[in-house]
Chains A and B, each alone.
Chain A
Amino acid sequence: MLLSGLLVVATFGLSGCNKASDAEKQLRAALHNTEKLSNTFLYQETVHDTAGDHETDVRGLVEDDFRYKARVAEDGKPVLDEVVSDDAIAVRFLDPTRIGRFLRKPTKADRGGSGVGGNGTASGATPAPNPGGVTGTASGGPTAGELLATRRWVLDPAGAPAAFASAGTDQALGDDPIADARDVFAYVNQAIDAADRVVEFNPESLDYRKDEDPFPQPEPHSGVKRYDLVRPNLPKASQTGGSTNQVTPDARHFRKMSVYVKDKRVIQVRETIDVQSRLKDLADIYDTKFPTDRPKAEVAAIAVEALNAIRTGQGQDPIRMRDMELSLKDLGSAVKVDMPTDTTKGSLALLENRGRPADAANGVLEAAAVRAQPSPPPGG
């Protein structure tokens, strides 16, 4: 009896190892298959912080990696339209009062858009000569900032975004929602690298806990497979990770992510950075106490704020407590991106990661000028 018990345990262990490895291969193959395909997409992100919840949606279509269009909405209200075709980019603000989030930041003045490899650099901090004025439109008329304030399209023939957010850039998650939406597959691949393992969803698995599963199960007979990323345990308080700094929890320690695959193609990605479910572990490991008289969501936001203070002090990216969902449709269909026709030419370097690299310094100046202007009333 004892021997048969050991045999069962060993068999479970081995099958578990094999299944995780196969699941990861299948998931990476599905990501590889899908990223080559044209599609229409909807990216939804809700960020939770101490000020409440903030929702950003990006919907659009992708002809290929250099041709796509997208509309950004914040809290359900359309904000921005963007069309990219090779080197050209056209942008209009449907709600110009929300332009602030997209303006170029002074600390990134050395980075522009364009460039095939994506890291074109400006010639220096000195603004480049620009015949059209500080931001100038081609005709020397209104600046790009002035045009964008009136909801008109501005076309920059050489200002397409340089690179999507990824390791090696100084762009953080949330800085550019269109880049975030376009970069989800790279993000998922990084999440797989950071996960403890990948498993195919199995409600009968001994490891599965329905009460800890925030995502829907695949419909029976739908042909949809779900792959789950299993998050690693929180680091111990004594871990230093080879440096003098204490290892602080990362997004991977809180991440729940599931990828839905049909016909070997990804159709949906869901993620939640779930701090609430690990509050007790955090309290135990770091020998601290969280208030018990407040809602868990509020306590989680406070805990993340405290963790982020440490992380940013150590030069690490802050944890973004969010729910994210990417849905893909029309995979491989004949999608065509056309530039709008009612555009005015101008430099879009006032927007982060847009505009020619040589215009970046001018863009910083114009962004500062736009920030300094009093905001028009919403919808006005």
Chain B
Amino acid sequence: MGLRPRLLGAVLAAGLALAGCARSSASVAPTPGKAVQALDIPNLPTDLLGLHVAKEDVSAEVAKVPSAFIDALSLYSLRHNDLVQATLQVSRFNAGADVKAEKFRQTVVNQIGSSAPRTVRLGADTVYLTTGTKQSIGMWFKGRYLFVLATRADYDEPRTLLRKALEIQP
């Protein structure tokens, strides 16, 4: 379980980012972290590009966030031989979030990662790319959902994995 800090880091980074959004929009009531529910994604494959997909329990960590702009969240680990190669976090924004607005999206993605995100087009999807500590991070929106895929910097197929993950429907 030495991998726990890595998983938590990703969750908390996003949680704080979302809390930051809530602060910037006074008219929207944020969701307390304790009220954020676990999110189930039907038809989620058990395997992505040879990596085993498993849901992680992060409810305790999410509960510590005082307020957020999301009402449901789940985190998945993607492992090869028990080693986590990537994590996928899926969050659902609450009803007050103006998810379609580019300004809102930029506010969210600007708070994730350690470098200014770069926007790329993959097929019909817009993906925001950034980096974390020894991680490559891709973010995209689908309806009211935010996907954050973090891969180890030394993982050989981050783009192929990203393209596969884009196929996941919430």
B129 contact from A36, A64, A114, A117, Cβ within 8 A? A117
Q: Is the CB of B159 within 8 A of A357?
A: no
Given contacts A87-B160, A120-B153, contact A36 B121 (CB under 8 A): yes
- For residue B106, CB closer than 8 A to chain A, the reply is no
Q: Is the CB of A119 within 8 A of B115?
A: yes
Given contacts A66-B163, A115-B158, A116-B138, contact A35 B121 (CB under 8 A): yes
Q: Is the CB of B159 within 8 A of A160?
A: yes
Given contacts A86-B163, A119-B131, contact A66 B156 (CB under 8 A): no
Chain B: minimal CB distance from A77 (Å): 32
Chain A interface SS verdict (over half): loop
> Across the interface, which residues of A come within 8 angstroms of B159, CB to CB?
66, 86-87, 114, 116, 160
Q: How far is the CA of A64 from the CA of B160 in the complex (A)?
A: 13
> Across the interface, which residues of B come within 8 angstroms of A168, CB to CB?
115-116
How many A residues touch B, CB cutoff 8 Å? 25
Chain B: minimal CB distance from A281 (Å): 35
Q: How far is the CA of A199 from the CA of B73 in the complex (A)?
A: 47
- For residue A356, CB closer than 8 A to chain B, the reply is yes
Q: Is the CB of B130 within 8 A of A158?
A: no
> Across the interface, which residues of A come within 8 angstroms of B91, CB to CB?
none
- For residue B6, CB closer than 8 A to chain A, the reply is no
Q: Is the CB of A158 within 8 A of B157?
A: yes
Interface readout for A41-55 with B: 1 if CB under 8 Å, 0 if not? 000000000000000
> Across the interface, which residues of A come within 8 angstroms of B136, CB to CB?
115-118, 120
Q: Is the CB of A118 within 8 A of B129?
A: yes
Q: Is the CB of A117 within 8 A of B137?
A: yes
Q: How far is the CA of A15 from the CA of B116 in the complex (A)?
A: 35
Q: How far is the CA of A370 from the CA of B149 in the complex (A)?
A: 38
In A118-141, which residues have CB < 8 Å from any B CB?
Answer: 118-121, 123
Give the size range of B's interface with the partner. 20 to 34
> Across the interface, which residues of A come within 8 angstroms of B158, CB to CB?
87, 114-116
> Across the interface, which residues of A come within 8 angstroms of B149, CB to CB?
116
Q: Is the CB of A358 within 8 A of B131?
A: no
Q: Which residue of B lies closest to A120 (CB)?
A: B153
- For residue B25, CB closer than 8 A to chain A, the reply is no
Chain B: minimal CB distance from A31 (Å): 12
Q: Is the CB of B118 within 8 A of A36?
A: no
> Across the interface, which residues of A come within 8 angstroms of B129, CB to CB?
116-118
> Across the interface, which residues of A come within 8 angstroms of B154, CB to CB?
120, 123, 357-358
Q: How far is the CA of A66 from the CA of B138 in the complex (A)?
A: 13
> Across the interface, which residues of B come within 8 angstroms of A66, CB to CB?
120, 122, 159, 163
- For residue B31, CB closer than 8 A to chain A, the reply is no
- For residue A96, CB closer than 8 A to chain B, the reply is no
- For residue A65, CB closer than 8 A to chain B, the reply is yes
Interface readout for A143-178 with B: 1 if CB under 8 Å, 0 if not? 000000000000001101001001010000000000
B121 contact from A65, A86, A120, Cβ within 8 A? A65
Interface readout for B121-145 with A: 1 if CB under 8 Å, 0 if not? 1110010011100011110000000
Q: How far is the CA of A121 from the CA of B162 in the complex (A)?
A: 19
B156 contact from A65, A157, A163, Cβ within 8 A? A157
Q: Is the CB of A86 within 8 A of B153?
A: no
- For residue B87, CB closer than 8 A to chain A, the reply is no
Q: How far is the CA of A163 from the CA of B156 in the complex (A)?
A: 15
A87 contact from B121, B153, B156, Cβ within 8 A? B156
Q: Which residue of A lies closest to B151 (CB)?
A: A116
Q: How far is the CA of A163 from the CA of B130 in the complex (A)?
A: 11
Q: Is the CB of B126 within 8 A of A64?
A: no
Q: Which residue of B lies closest to A123 (CB)?
A: B154
Q: How far is the CA of A66 from the CA of B157 in the complex (A)?
A: 12
- For residue B33, CB closer than 8 A to chain A, the reply is no
Q: How far is the CA of A357 from the CA of B134 in the complex (A)?
A: 12
> Across the interface, which residues of B come within 8 angstroms of A121, CB to CB?
153
Q: How far is the CA of A120 from the CA of B115 in the complex (A)?
A: 13
Q: How far is the CA of A123 from the CA of B149 in the complex (A)?
A: 23
Could you say which of B115, B122, B135, B154 has the most chain A C-beta atoms within 10 Å of its C-beta?
A: B154
Q: Which residue of B lies closest to A63 (CB)?
A: B123
- For residue B15, CB closer than 8 A to chain A, the reply is no
Chain B: minimal CB distance from A152 (Å): 23
Given contacts A66-B163, A86-B163, contact A114 B156 (CB under 8 A): yes
10 A–B contact pairs at CB < 8 A? Answer: A64-B123, A65-B121, A116-B136, A117-B136, A120-B136, A123-B154, A158-B156, A160-B159, A166-B118, A356-B156
Closest 6 CB pairs of A and B: A117-B131, A116-B136, A65-B120, A158-B156, A86-B159, A116-B158
Interface residues of A (CB under 8 A from B): 35-36, 64-66, 86-87, 114-121, 123, 157-158, 160, 163, 166, 168, 356-358
